[in-house]
Amino acid sequence: MKAVILAGGFGKRLRPLTDQMPKPMIEVMGLPIIEWQVKWLSGFGIREFVICVGYMKEHIINHIGSGSRLGVRVGYAVEEEPLGTGGALKNAEGLLSGQSEFFMVNGDILTNLDPNRLRDGGGRNSLALVPLRSPFGVVEVNGDSRVLGFVEKPRIQDRWINAGVYHFTSDVFAYLPENGNIEVTALPALAKEGKLHAAKYDGIFWRSIDSHKDIEEATKEMQAANIK
C-alpha cells in the first residue's frame, strides 16, 4: 500500500526559513520533516510513497530522490501551480492507479501514531484525531477562588482535532476538486453522506509545525519521547 505526502505548500508562517526551502525540508533534530515522515511510515510497513511537490520542489526531490537511501520507493506528483490539499491529491491520481486504498499525510506534521489503525479492514475513508492542546497555560482554582496550581498547555480531552493523517479508498477521487482544499470540499461531503470515520489517538506524540516555536517544542518533545 502507498502513502501520499502533501509537500507542495508555501509555509508562509515559517518565513524567513521558507524563503530558502519548502516547509517539509525544515530540520527538526537534524533531519528534514519529510524524512522523519518517511522513516515513521516505513516503520509501519509502508514502502511506497507519492510525494506531492510544488514550491521549491527541487529541494525535496534532490534530498529524497528515488527513496532507495531510506529503503523505500518514491514517485512525485508535481504541481505547476498551487492546487490546495484536495487538488494536490487529485493531481496524484495517476500515480495511485490500481490502489484500492492508501494513506495520506500533511507534509508538516511529526508523529509516532500507528496509521494502520485507520484501515479497519481497508474499506473505510477515515482520519486520525488527536486531543486539542490548549495554546495557553491553565490556572486551576477551587470554589473559593484559591489558586491550586498551574498546568502548562494541557490537552483538552473532550475536544479532538484533525491530525492530518488519513486513510482513503479510491472512492475519494470522485469527491476531490481540481483546485481546492480537501478540508472544505471532500471531507465535509464524505461526512454528510456518512462515509467518513475517525480514530482517536491519545498518549502518542503529535506535533504540527506551523511556527518557529513549534520547531523548538517539537525537538524537546521528541527527545522526551525518545523518538529517533
- Report whether 4 contacts 48 (CB < 8 A): no
Residue range 66-125, pLDDT digits in tens = 999 999 999 999 998 889 999 999 999 999 988 899 999 999 999 999 999 998 777 789
Q: What domain range includes position 117?
A: 2-129+160-224
Residue range 191-202, pLDDT digits in tens = 999 999 999 998
Structural domain contains residue 144: no
What are the residue numbers of the active site?
153
Taking Cα atoms as reference points, which of 136, 163, 173 lies closest to residue 152? 136
pLDDT at 142: 79
Structural domain contains residue 46: yes
pLDDT at 42: 95
Q: Is 131 helix (H, G, I), strand (E, B) or coil?
A: strand
Structural domain contains residue 216: yes
38-47 b/e (C-beta count within 10 Å ≥ 16 → b) = bebbbeeebe
Q: Within 13 Å and on the Cβ side, how many CA atoms surround 203?
A: 0
Residue range 110-133, pLDDT digits in tens = 999 999 999 877 778 999 999 887
- Distances 218 to 124, 160, 207, 213, 227 between C-alpha atoms, Å: 31, 20, 6, 8, 11
Structural domain contains residue 210: yes
Structural domain contains residue 116: yes
Residues 64 and 74: their CA atoms lie apart, in Å, by: 8
pLDDT at 143: 80
Taking Cα atoms as reference points, which of 113, 108, 149, 106 lies closest to residue 131? 113
Could you tell me the CATH number of the domain that includes residue 105?
3.90.550.10
pLDDT at 90: 95
Say if residue 64's pLDDT is above 80.
yes
Residue range 146-182, pLDDT digits in tens = 787 777 776 776 789 999 999 999 999 999 998 989 9
pLDDT at 94: 93
- Report whether 220 contacts 28 (CB < 8 A): no
pLDDT at 30: 86
- Mean pLDDT over each residue of the chain, to the nearest integer: 89
pLDDT at 68: 94
Look up the pTM and report it.
0.88
Residues 93 and 77: their CA atoms lie apart, in Å, by: 9
Cell of 114: 500507528
Domain count across the chain? 1
Structural domain contains residue 139: no
Residue the block writes with cell 512525485: 76
